[in-house]
Homo-oligomer: A and B are copies of this chain.
């Protein structure tokens, strides 16, 4: 089974590949993977040794180099573990192709360095990406692969009527309307047009516009997104129901996120940050039934690296109008929390396709900040959707 990663050398992608190979070689326990728990006993999921990795990347460098940087800077990939996986990483690296930077925005262009700025026609660029994917499938004699978008958060794409249909998307490419695409749209197009599964793990709004969703449905491929739920928002969606259960009125919910790393540097750019905040701030109203005063801040703190620290303050009112408060601090490591989710979803997207499911996968809602087509934001309710699916999927 193939796994094709857009953003193949990023911190998360690196952790995903290192982790999958370490699992394949029995070097680590599958902590953090829900598909490795008894809930999925009897569900015919693909095993780790069978996964073949490839992907697109816009920055220079190698997977091995990226893994070493992480081991040295963050320590989240143990140096001893890495030592035994160098050949595996080199093999995956051989499958990485140059990604696209079309209308990627200033922050991502800067990140990609010298490669930025080239101007190509959209249709040609789409064909180039499709070509890589086709060759990957052919080379490894794969029937199918799961494409995962782990590329940097893009500035919001302003949608036009053309984004509403699969035909409109083709028009955008044919008419070379550069300002109506982002890299994530081209990546998702490549996956959809070839009928491959797609997991959209970032908040970029361009990937799963209605026209792209239509294309996935037409080609019979499942997809899901968007924005993996790994930290502050995860806690929020677990905790907010408590206030509903007790009829405690939330007066204010303030959330402050800090992170370093490439992710943080990208989000320090105002236009990219807007994309992110949009996906984080909508769930309270959904869960509570009203919109309290709320704030979601994201600040770039270089020294933190991949350690995402968040502090939330919740002000609420109870009986006799009395006001009380709660705070929480989350000290997480982003890639460590996200990587097992990616692997879980790779397995589940593969399963869905084998089960003949196409279009959105609502049972994956618990993994996302903005689950496509699923209004439910209560983590517990989302969890039960997954539990039901797992039960049904048992032979």
Contacts and interface: CB of A to CB of B under 8 A. Distances in A.
Interface of A: 15, 18-19, 22, 28-34, 36-37, 72, 75-81, 234-235, 238-239, 241-242, 245-249, 251-252, 254, 256, 258, 293, 295, 297, 299, 301-304, 309, 311, 313, 315, 317-333, 336-337, 339-341, 366, 378-381, 383
B303 A256 contact: no
B321 A337 contact: no
Given A239-B238, A319-B339, A320-B15, A246 B311 contact: no
Contact of A331 (B18, B325, B341): B325
A144 to B, nearest CB: 25
B331 A326 contact: yes
Contact of A340 (B30, B254, B301, B319): B319
A320 B77 contact: yes
B239 A239 contact: yes
B245 A34 contact: yes
Contact of A242 (B79, B234, B258): B234
Given A256-B256, A302-B293, A313 B311 contact: yes
Contacts of A318: 31-32, 333, 336-337, 340
Contacts of A315: 301, 303-304
Given A31-B320, A245-B383, A326-B332, 6 more contacts: A31-B319, A72-B80, A252-B258, A295-B301, A328-B328, A380-B381
Contacts of A249: 31
B336 A320 contact: yes
A247 B33 contact: yes
A347 to B, nearest CB: 13
A319 B235 contact: no
A329 to B, nearest CB: 5
The 10 closest A-B pairs by CB, nearest first: A251-B303, A380-B380, A32-B319, A328-B328, A238-B242, A322-B336, A32-B318, A325-B331, A319-B340, A252-B301
Nearest to A327: B329
Nearest to A322: B336
Given A235-B326, A303-B293, A321-B78, A313 B380 contact: no
A110 to B, nearest CB: 19
A309 B299 contact: no
Contacts of A31: 247-249, 317-321
Could you say which of A32, A72, A77 has the most chain B C-beta atoms within 10 Å of its C-beta? A32
A241 B380 contact: yes
Contacts of A37: 247
B331 A324 contact: yes
Contacts of A295: 299, 301
A333 B99 CA distance: 42
A321 B324 CA distance: 20
Contact of A319 (B75, B252, B313, B336): B336
A245 B293 CA distance: 29
Given A256-B297, A326-B330, A340-B247, A75 B76 contact: no
